[in-house]
Homo-oligomer: A and B are copies of this chain.
Amino acid sequence: MRRVQIAVIGYNKDRCTDAARKAAYEAGAEIARAGAVLVCGGLGGVMEEACRGAKDNDGLTIGIIPQDDPSHANRHCDVVISTGIGYARDFIVAGSADGLIAIGGGVGTLTELSVAYMMKKPMVAIKGTGGTADHYGGVYLDERKRAKIIAVKDAKTAVKTIFKELG
């Protein structure tokens, strides 16, 4: 039986805030505790902290990176998918998630949410983490209102909400 796969998306290393880092670590930890698999973009910032949180709780971590060389992945990825397709890998991160958690983030995070929205996947955004999570939390990305980006207060609620949405 395949386990649920949850993506954590958000700030990369350059612009990550302390609040986002902390929330990402907690999100990774909660995903692991819930018995789900962590999927992410495999690089720094939110991605790295989520992986670290998952590994500290015996989780399984998958990094789907833009490069074709696994050495670019953060060292907390158990498995590295070296796509070699650049930032088009954002499509694959979103496509490989049963649900997504946004923490801070810029336009790359918005791209991933857009793809997930098109596929009607459960999406949550942790409030107070800045950037895309704060700006797009609670909204629909287009007028069809296929799936709302649910604003949640913390990592624990984030994971619980995704499981609830998955039914």
Using CB atoms and an 8 Å cutoff, list the residues of chain A in contact with chain B.
1-3, 5, 15, 37, 60, 62, 64, 68, 70, 73, 75, 77-88, 91-92, 95-96, 98, 105-108, 110-111, 114-115, 117-119, 130-132, 135, 141-144, 146
Chain A interface SS verdict (over half):
mixed
A77: chain B residues at CB < 8 Å are 2
Distance, CA A18 to CA B68, complexed state (A): 32
Q: Tell whether A68 pairs with B84 under 8 Å between CB atoms, given A79-B79, A106-B142, A111-B118.
A: no
Q: 8 tightest A-B contacts by CB?
A: A85-B85, A106-B142, A111-B114, A88-B91, A107-B142, A82-B95, A84-B86, A84-B95
Given the known inter-chain contacts A91-B91, A107-B114, A118-B111, please indicate yes or no for A5 contacting B79, CB distance below 8 A: yes
Distance from A17 Cβ to chain B, minimum over Cβ atoms (Å): 11
| Cα-based distance from A119 to B105 in the complex (angstroms) | 16
A111 to B115, CA, bound (A): 7
Considering the chains assembled together, what is the distance between the CA atoms of A83 and B87 in angstroms?
Answer: 11
Contacting A107 at CB < 8 Å: which of B98, B108, B117? B117
The CA-CA distance from A152 to B3 in the complex, in Å, is 35
Contact between B70 and A2, CB atoms less than 8 A apart: yes
Measured between beta carbons, the chain B residues less than 8 angstroms from A37 are 78-79
**Chain B min CB distance to A65 (Å):** 9
Chain B residues, CB < 8 A from A142: 105-107, 110, 131-132, 135
CA distance A142 to B108 in the complex (A): 9
